[in-house]
């Protein structure tokens, strides 16, 4: 693979993290309109699927084994991941959830060593960079507050969400190397929608969709979350997986809390402390150290 292709892999990962970190602010608009976190998930997936169908009006012919695998991928990285993360927020503090979910790259390293040793050869810089970035995540999420509370149910749910994303990362890489990433992403969105609807109906029920079409702020938020946050960014994130490896790509997830902090400061006037700035420096250093490991690609 050429150096320019790897460089674009880093660009795709950085762009995706910038968008995903911004999704927090847009999600607030939908929550304020009366949608619950669990209801937002299938709504996003449905529109993402339609957007990807327009982008790539072609279909995959899969064996039943591969179709079952896509169903598992859709659950791990879609419906189940968002269900666990959103439910965790109802049982514990947002700081706990943010820090614990940001441990996903560590789980990815573990799974990569167990199941992808031929493709994911890791050196010391990945581990050192991960530890430095985790320290930065903690500082960014706390952002000047030293209050961190344990809540067994919520914290375990957040831990399960981090593990679910790591499973998604490992499983999806095989298909990013075989098929068009936009078509692969569309199939994942389809299964995330099909499995997300039952979760929604069993918990919060069917939402009132009227605000999506009557409130411009809610409509813009929905379009941003579904088309950019899901359709486009999931696809180019999968391309980054293909070019950089799942471990190196997932290390960029450490920067997500800082992006959310920055967007909250710009749009919601939320304060940033010196602790948050120090955390951002550590995150940047950690990701840089992880990328130095040439074997991790």
Apex CA 16: angle with CA 290 and CA 173, to 5°?
65
pLDDT per position as a tens digit, 260-292:
667 767 766 666 677 767 776 777 677 667 666
Residue 296 has pLDDT above 50, yes or no: no
Least confident of 139-153, 190-204, 206-220, 251-265: 139-153
Q: Is the pLDDT of residue 135 over 50?
A: yes
- Tell which residue, 55, 62, 18, 6, has the closest CA to residue 229: 18
pLDDT digits 0-9 by tens, 22-66: 776 777 788 888 898 789 889 999 999 999 999 988 888 888 899
**Residue 163: exposure state from Cβ atoms within 10 A (0-12, 13-18, ≥19):** buried
Of the candidates 85, 69, 44, 87, the residue with the CA atom closest to the CA atom of residue 197: 44
Instruction: Please name the residues in contact with 235: beta carbons below 8 A apart, sequence gap of 6 or more.
Output: 52, 181, 182, 184, 185
Number of domains within the chain: 1
Range of the domain at 103: 3-296
Interval 67-75 mean pLDDT: 93
CB 256, CB 13: distance < 8 Å: no
Q: What pLDDT shows up at residue 61?
A: 85
Position 219 scores a pLDDT of: 94
Residue 278: helix, strand or coil by DSSP? Answer: helix
Tokens matching residue 210: 């009227």
Task: Indicate yes or no: pTM above 0.75.
Answer: yes
SS (HEC) of 86-129: HHHHCCCCHHHHHHHHCCHHHHHHHHHHHHCCCCCCCCHHHHHH
> Is residue 183 within a helix (H) or strand (E), and if so which, with residue range?
helix 181-203
Report the share of the chain in percent with pLDDT over 90. 29
Residue 204, token pair as written in the block: 């919060």
Task: For 77-123, write each residue's pLDDT tens digit.
Answer: 888 888 887 777 777 666 566 667 777 777 777 777 776 555 555 66
The pLDDT of residue 78 is 87
Residue that the structure tokens 């896509």 belong to: 70
- pLDDT for 239-249, tens place per residue? 998 888 887 88
- Cβ atoms of residues 162 and 168 within 8 Å: no
User: What is the token pair recorded at 14?
Assistant: 């950085």
Q: Give me the residue label for tokens 């529109």.
A: 47
Q: What is the reported pLDDT for 232?
A: 93
Give the residue from 268, 292, 285 showing the smallest Cα distance to 26: 268
């Amino acid at each position: 693979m050429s150096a320019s292709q790897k460089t674009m892999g880093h660009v795709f990962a950085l762009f995706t993290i910038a968008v995903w970190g911004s999704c927090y602010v847009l999600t607030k608009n939908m929550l304020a309109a009366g949608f619950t976190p669990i209801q937002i998930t299938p709504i996003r997936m449905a529109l993402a699927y339609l957007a990807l169908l327009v982008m790539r009006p072609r279909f995959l012919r899969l064996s039943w084994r591969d179709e079952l695998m896509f169903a598992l991928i859709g659950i791990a990285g879609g419906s189940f991941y968002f269900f666990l993360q959103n439910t965790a927020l109802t049982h514990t503090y947002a700081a706990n959830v943010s820090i614990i979910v940001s441990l996903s790259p560590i789980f990815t390293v573990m799974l990569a060593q167990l199941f992808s040793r031929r493709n994911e050869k890791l050196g010391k810089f990945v581990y050192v960079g991960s530890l430095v970035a985790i320290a930065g995540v903690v500082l960014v999420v706390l952002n000047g507050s030293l209050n961190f509370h344990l809540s067994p149910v919520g914290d375990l749910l957040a831990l399960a969400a981090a593990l679910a994303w790591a499973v998604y990362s490992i499983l999806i890489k095989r298909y990013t190397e075989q098929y068009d990433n936009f078509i692969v992403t569309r199939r994942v969105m389809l299964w995330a929608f099909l499995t997300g609807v039952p979760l929604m109906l069993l918990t919060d029920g069917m939402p009132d969709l009227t605000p999506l079409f009557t409130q411009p702020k809610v409509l813009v938020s929905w379009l941003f979350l579904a088309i950019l946050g899901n359709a486009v960014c999931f696809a180019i994130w999968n391309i980054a997986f293909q070019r950089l490896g799942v471990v190196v790509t997932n290390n960029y997830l450490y920067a997500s809390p800082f992006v959310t902090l920055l967007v909250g400061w710009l749009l919601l006037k939320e304060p940033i402390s010196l602790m948050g700035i120090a955390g951002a420096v550590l995150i940047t250093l950690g990701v840089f150290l992880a990328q130095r490991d040439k074997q991790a690609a």
